[in-house]
Structure 1
Amino acid sequence: MNTKLTYNPQPATRNLQLKITGSKSETNRLLLLQALYPNIKLENTSNSDDSEVMLKAIQQPTTDNRQRTTDNGKPTTEIDIHHAGTAMRFLTAFFAVQEGNEVVLNGSSRMKERPIKILVDALNQLGAEITYEENEGFPPIKIKGKKITKNNVSLPANVSSQYISALLLIAPKLENGLKLTLEGEITSVPYINMTLALLNEIGVETSFENNVIKVNPQPVTHNPQTVTIESDWSSASYWYSIIALSEIGTQITLSSYKKNSLQGDAALIEIYKSFGVETVFNDNQAITISKANTHHPSPITFNLNNSPDIAQTIAVTCFGLGIGCHLAGLHTLKIKETDRLEALKTELSKLGANISVTNDSLTLQPSEKIIENVSIATYQDHRMAMAFAPLALKVPIIIQNAEVVSKSYPTFWEDLKNFEFQVVE
């Protein structure tokens, strides 16, 4: 489905209010913890495809009749996680400790190109039994669930934080807990801290000193408890971009957000001050974001090592405002749903941008003109679709395969319509 976007300006004094569903990052972590500790109840879970895939996969070995029998006579459940990279990594660790279960984790053609070797090696060093079905180091993988008693493993510190979080999430269920040593400079510390904070919230004891993380074993959680998930800051980023590209006085209220967020993408609050956007918390339950001024320093430089998922949004915002930027700390974008750096370069260039990329950075030159009615390829990447949509405030734009937004924000196009965007399929 290709979608053409235009914008019909309305008085800037209105205040749209939107409810953004729970953080995909928090939801997927807590779904795994809930599977390990069933007395946990979750509220405000994400309605994203990724979280639905995660939940279905956790339940599938006991509900799916589509099984095959291996040479040793044991049933093996095949689970397709499609494009959900977080699910692939978290579930690899989860099924490694499900004693007696045997599963094959598979995915889309792109998923088969996304590396999993670092995590598989770490789990196998701990005593897991994981093998490759096709290409060494990549899905699909076969996992035979086992009891794991080893508790000491090391990882390069600059790998995707999802590898690290996957190990931490299963750590309290390991007989002797886990001591994880990270070698070198750590990437995406906020996501590691998010995982540890959620473990602490359900009563698991952890420590993170220097480059060593320790998680104590906890066979059961003692009391039933409810965990309310904060709304997704990554989803909020597109509204920050919309406000940045709007007239002074435009504002929107989004819920439910916390001042002391666990999500690295809450860095939006400070970053978007550079684009004239102010954020006000309302009783620590919602934020009102508004366009306060049009003074935009140029060029702008940000290191997004701790929040790489908002790089696409920021790059498009800068282009829409006609200002230059240099974004660094982006090496993990090469192995996402697509190579996001190359995808940004290709699509922004079509719009008239002067942009260059390296393996871990992006540099955009100031531009005064945006080419109209350009068709933006999305590469099966939800963030490409949503990051480019705000440009409709400036020129008509076409988003290819617009349905891809369901991966993280299924109601995105409907919400845009409420903000006076014209969305034509």
Structure 2
Amino acid sequence: MSVNWTNSRAKRLSALPPYVFARLDELKALARKEGLDLIDLGMGNPDGFAPRPVIEAAIQAFETPQFHGYPPFEGTASFREAIAKWYDRSYGVELNPDNEALPLLGSKEGLSHLALAYVNPGDVVLVPSPAYPAHFRGPLIAGATLYPIILKAEQDWLIDIDSIPEDVAKQAKILYFNYPSNPTAAVAPREFFEKIVAWAQHYEIMLVHDLCYAELSFDGYQPTSLLEIPGAKEISVEFHTLSKTYNMAGWRVGFVVGNSDIIQGLRTLKTNLDYGIFSVIQKAAETALQLPDEYVKQVQERYRQRRDFLIKGLGQLGWDIPPSRATMYLWVPCSVGMTSTDFALSVLQKTGVVVTPGNAFGEGGEGYVRVSLIADIPRLGEALQRLEDAGIRYQ
């Protein structure tokens, strides 16, 4: 007997738009099968090793029997304490490690599960467009009614909360947002955070801020933590990951901090879904957060050099891209008359260079592609040469 299980899938899956990254993986696999040498600047997947002290801490923990059992649901006490100390050192934000910090299996997991913990079917969730896909896919899985806030280049890709109708604001339960931004690389001044906190307090909206690019900043710019703003902790949580700064994307470790009641709801859900993070990885992550500032400066300098090199090279091909002040991305307009998907596919097929179409991040990303700074300068130079040889220019 043959059963068509496709038709038996939960209705919540039908609400999800196609996942462009999965489609890109299929196209990349096909291209490699055909012998094409790909230069993958698509995903935000850092190149290189995790820091040596982190690896050594993991090896030592591997050799300790106590780290091989089930970890505590709330994460190890030492990792939570390291998180609290890191926030105090980085932002002057005091956290109670017992109830205001929760380790996660990467920030994506936590961002998505938070929606399951707090969103009922039909609840209104505000999400910028473009946005990191987990910011809208998690709420969609939970049955949310999404209200997309279309971001605009002329507004520096910042959320214009004044554009949100009052009837929508009164219904809204949660606002997800992310500065420094994936995918636009936009940054937000402190005044923006102050305004959004006051607005959310007025309408009693939960703020969910994704600060995963906090340390990847350049030219003297220091990103703001939402929790620096007075009163923010009453209505907010903030997510962070070790994937980017510490080259630990495959380790799957991050954390959420902020309002203890909000965090407790997420913790309650997670105790029914997973057993937390392997204690070995928590020990390694704890070590990462204790690395000296010099390590972060080296990472920043590496990405700054790649940013400058790629902006200069794209400038010679007709693009005028302002230097991003943070993140590991450039937000690049497509050639006139081409959709994001058409442009990204054309670049892939003609050159073997992989970029991510902007519409993967929502309708507000149409007309752009995201380029990740995840290759060394010689490889970026080869990518630029391939674009030039294929006649791909901004026009």
Q: Normalization by structure 2: what TM-score?
A: 0.30
Per chain length, whose mean CA-contact separation is higher, i.e. which structure has more relative contact order (CA < 8 Å, sep 6+)?
Answer: 2
More strand by share: 1
More helix by share: 2
Q: Normalization by structure 1: what TM-score?
A: 0.28
